[in-house]
Amino acid sequence: MSNKNIEIEFKNMITRGEFTDLMNFLNIGSEDFSEQENHYFDTPDFLLKAKGSALRIRQKNDSFELTLKQPHPEGLLETNENLTESEAAAMIQTGKIPREEIIQSIEELGIKTDNLQYFGTLTTKRAEKEYNKGLAVLDHSRYLNKEDFEIEFEVDNRIEGKSAFLNLLQQLNIPVRKTENKIKRFYNEKYRQQKD
């Protein structure tokens, strides 16, 4: 049984120092962080990326969730399916998707799923805090010999949420930076490394 939802979130890359400032401002301690791993998939020629879509397995504690993200007028359309540990391991090994609905959604994009392969893993330490009618999320991510820091702000109302997010950045003198999502940052680095 899959579930679909529209994700409305704002994000901004931050420095290590700004990350610490936000932890203090939001009253987040190091004990509030949990670790999750995102295992990414695409075709060798990045066809999902070319369609603005992405496929990942998120491993958190002992749970595994397969997510397909696709462009949507309001944000991103997410299709989520729970996997067993053995299904996740098999998919990382073979690239074969064990859930029919996600296969169908990818094929509707004009992509053959038998070309999918595992691209690598991004590990994130994440803390979440309710803030101003939304959820503030601090992420410290490591992938492909890189690390970065970001704040995300997940909301139900785009207009109120954007205002609250920009206000938070302004209070801490954090400049607004063009920020790609984790999957794009991961793919851009993977693509760059393959070119070198």
> What's the average model confidence in pLDDT over 162-166?
96
Q: Count of CB atoms within 10 A of residue 72's CB?
A: 13
SS3 per residue for the chain: CCEEEEECEEEEEECHHHHHHHHHHCCCCHHHCEEEEEEEEECCCCHHHHCCCEEEEEEECCEEEEEEEEEECCEEEEEEEEECHHHHHHHHHHCCCCCHHHHHHHHHCCCCHHHCEEEEEEEEEEEEEEECCEEEEEEEEEECCEEEEEEEEECCCHHHHHHHHHHHHHHCCCCCCCCCCHHHHHHHHHHHHHHC
pTM reported for the whole predicted model: 0.81
* pLDDT value of residue 187: 83
The rounded percent of the chain whose pLDDT value lies above 90 is 76
Structural domain tally of the chain? 1
* pLDDT value of residue 2: 63
Instruction: Give the CATH number, domain containing residue 90.
Output: 2.40.320.10
Nearest to 150 by CA among 3, 14, 9, 2: 14
Domain that residue 72 falls in: 3-195
Which token pair is 54?
Answer: 């992405």
State the chain's mean pLDDT as an integer: 92
